[in-house]
């Protein structure tokens, strides 16, 4: 089969472990006709564990520590340059814990996806598992959405649902959800790059 299309260049932003990033890279590398290719991993933490995996898998990395406000401006400026050099078509935030500025989002001007460990629009922000338990929720989950200037808002592209059983702890919820996040993000990215318009729902 002749390959008429250009694969989209994907950049993945991480802050730490990077297990969602690994899932996305493995998926793109394992499927010849995947519509995307991992081109760059960016981190605001030079010690992020996920960077080691990216380098071992020959994906270029760019990392710069953000400790104070001025660092964030420099990080964003330099990151924009690298995104341009690498001709990046889409950013996937995968456990990236800094809030990108309005200026950055506007300057990049292409889609930015994010995975968030709750059923948005519930529980934006941090400590989502604890908050879902405290609220007495019977269901919980994760969401992949396109980002806007407002934190943890934007069109929902997919969700994965789990039930919360009696006496669950936040740690148990996190452990149950993480592998499902990987499956969700992989599926959403494929559909998004194919421009199929298909949304993903998985109920576990």
State the catalytic residues: 116
Tell me the closest approach of the beta carbon of residue 6 to ligand GAR, in angstroms: 27
Pair type for strands 139-146 and 156-163: antiparallel
What does the longest C-alpha to C-alpha distance in the chain come to?
54
- Distance, in Å, from the CA atom of 63 to the CA atom of 29, rounded to the nearest integer, reads 22
Cβ-based nearer residue to ligand GAR, 75 or 123 = 123
Cβ-based nearer residue to ligand GAR, 82 or 170 = 170
Tell me the closest approach of the beta carbon of residue 68 to ligand GAR, in angstroms: 21
Interface residues with ligand GAR (CB under 6 A)? 14, 16-20, 94-95, 115-117, 142, 178, 181
Tell me the closest approach of the beta carbon of residue 126 to ligand GAR, in angstroms: 7
CA angle 99, 105, 109 (to 5 degrees): 160
Q: Of 83, 79, 54, 49, give the one whose Cα is nearest residue 66.
A: 79
Cβ-based nearer residue to ligand GAR, 23 or 193 = 23
């Amino acid at each position: 089969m002749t390959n008429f299309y250009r694969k989209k260049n994907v950049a993945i932003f991480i802050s730490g472990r990077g297990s969602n990033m690994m899932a996305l890279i493995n998926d793109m590398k394992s499927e010849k006709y995947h519509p995307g290719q991992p081109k760059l991993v960016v981190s605001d933490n030079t010690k992020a564990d996920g960077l080691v995996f990216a380098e071992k898998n020959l994906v270029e990395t760019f990392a710069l520590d953000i400790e104070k406000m001025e660092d964030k401006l420099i990080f964003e400026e330099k990151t924009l340059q690298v995104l341009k050099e690498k001709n990046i078509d889409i950013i996937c935030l995968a456990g990236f814990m800094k809030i990108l500025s309005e200026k950055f989002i506007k300057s990049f001007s292409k889609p930015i996806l994010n995975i968030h460990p709750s059923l948005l629009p519930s529980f934006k922000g941090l400590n989502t598992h604890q908050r879902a338990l405290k609220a007495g929720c019977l269901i919980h989950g994760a969401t992949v959405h396109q980002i806007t200037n407002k934190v943890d808002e934007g069109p929902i592209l997919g969700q994965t649902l789990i039930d919360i059983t009696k006496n669950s702890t936040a740690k148990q919820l996190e452990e149950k959800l993480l592998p499902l996040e990987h499956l969700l993000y992989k599926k959403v990215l494929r559909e998004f790059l194919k421009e199929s318009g298909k949304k993903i729902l998985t109920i576990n």
